[in-house]
Structure 1
Amino acid sequence: MIEGIVAILAGLLLITPIIGRGSAGAKVVGKLTPFEAVIGVVALIVGVLNVMSVTGLVLIVAGLLLAASALAKIPAIGSHLARAGKALKPFRVVIGVVVLVIGVLVLLGIVGGGPPPGLRTG
């Protein structure tokens, strides 16, 4: 469930360029914008923890995009992670729509979050 919520938040931030100014969606995204890097880092972490699922993979991509500036400060690998995030920037809106749709599908139970059933422990 947390994967779905993080995916929806990340997706909303990524589709900011296509949300009309003055709309209710723009107000919601406006309140989320100051937390873009934090949401990106959380998306990246949740994605890595669920790397064996589609949800995990799209969260990693969304996290790279949203947290590119924060990732640049990590010693040794930060510049590489930031460069990967910047390379994805032209596809920001498309990735945002995909992440948003997957987040909604996870919350509705249509797409499962987490690892595939055969790899789950416990």
Structure 2
Amino acid sequence: MTKKNKKDIFSSKNLNKNPSEKNTYNIDHVLDSVFGKEGTKKRELNRKKAMVLFRAEDLINERKESGLTQQEIADKLGKDKTYISKIENGKVTPSVDLFYRYVQAIGKRVEIV
């Protein structure tokens, strides 16, 4: 999708005003055109990508909060900094074991509820 097409999709004339609520818009058609219609493979793939990025962002925030660098985490886990960067950027999904070790390395714990 080109920059111009994105602008066209998000212009106010293309957003359907929601008659039941003042100052709200229905953007389902925008989501469908960008991410695929609900229930399609394209939409599910984009949903999975989003979840990976959200998890990765959580790891970054928690690591920074702990005051540790990627290099320090890498040293604790016996990995290289590049690999930690790939995990934190959602390029690589760590094994469950490595995920738990990463969480422990930043002084946190995983709870299953």
Bin of the TM-score, shorter chain as denominator length: under 0.3
Q: Larger relative CO (CA 8 A, sep 6+): 1 or 2? A: 1
More helix by share: 1
Q: Please identify the structure whose Cα radius of gyration is greater.
A: 2
